[in-house]
Amino acid sequence: MFSCPPCTSKALPHEFRNTAEALFPSGTFPEGKGPTVESAKAFAGILGIGEDFKQIWDVHTSGNSSKREAAESTEEFLDSFQNNLDLLIQKTWVEKADEIRKENLLDKVPPLIAKIESGSYPEALEEFGAILEELAYLLFGAQSQKSDFTEYALRIDPLFGLFWWYGGQINGIPAWVKNADKDMQFALLLLGICYLADF
C-alpha cells in the first residue's frame, strides 16, 4: 500500500521538514485542534503552487463574491484539474497487463470531482489518496509499493518527492483529518488538486 511510514519525514530535505511536519504531524488531536490552513498555505508555497492555492482558496472562502461566482470559478478549476489528471493517466505508458488498471483509474476521477463539488471532503480525501496510489503505480510500477518510495521520488526531484510524500499522508487519512473542519479538509485536497492541475 502506498503510504508513508512516520520515519519517512526524516528523509525529507531539511528545508521542507518543519513545514511538512506542521501540516501532517504524528498523533491525534481533539476536534478543532491540530494543523491549520496556514500550514497548508506554507506547504503550497514550498510545492511551488502557492499562488494557485491562494487564488482558489480566496474564491472558496471569500464573502465578497457571490456563491454562484465562487461555484463557477471552482467548477472551472476542477475541470482543468480533471482534464490534466485524465491526460496524465491516458499518456502514461503501461504494460498491456496494466491497461485495465489505467481504465479503472480514469473511471474513479468523475466520482472524486462529484464528492469535492458536494463538499464531501473526507470521502474525497480518501478517494484522492486511492487515486494517487494507483497513479504512482502507473508511473513507477512496483517501486511505488516499496517502503522507500518517497526517498526514491525525492532523489528524482525534491519537489516531486514532496508531492508524493503528501500523497502518502492522505492515503489512509489520519483520524484527525476526519475530525478537522471543512476548511482544513478542503485545504488538504486543494494542495494535490493545484499540483496536478499544473503538472
- pLDDT at residue 167, as a whole number: 92
With cell 494517487, the residue in question is 132
With cell 496510489, the residue in question is 133
- The grid coordinates listed for 86 are 485524465
The model's pTM is 0.87
Tell whether the model's pLDDT for residue 24 goes beyond 70. yes
Q: SS3 letters for 76-122?
A: HHHHHHHHHHHHHHHHCCCCHHHHHHHHHHHHHHHHHHHHHHHCCHH
- pLDDT at residue 130, as a whole number: 93
CB burial of 55-79 (b: ≥16 within 10 Å; e: otherwise) equals ebbebbeeeeeeeeebeebbeebbe
Q: What number is the average pLDDT over the span 125-141?
A: 92
- pLDDT at residue 30, as a whole number: 55
Contact status, residue 161 vs residue 155, Cβ threshold 8 Å: yes
Q: What number is the average pLDDT over the span 43-64?
A: 87
Tell me the pLDDT band of 28, cut-offs 50, 70 and 90.
low
Domain ranges of the chain: 30-197
32-41, 80-89, 146-155: which has the minimum mean pLDDT? 32-41
Q: What number is the average pLDDT over the span 18-32?
A: 74
- Long-range CB contacts (within 8 A, 24+) of 36-41: 36/184, 37/183, 37/184, 37/187, 40/184, 40/187, 40/188, 40/190, 40/191, 41/187
What is the rounded distance in angstroms from the CA atom of residue 164 to the CA atom of residue 154? 9
Q: What is the pLDDT of residues 163-196, one digit of tens each?
A: 999 999 888 777 778 878 899 999 999 999 999 9
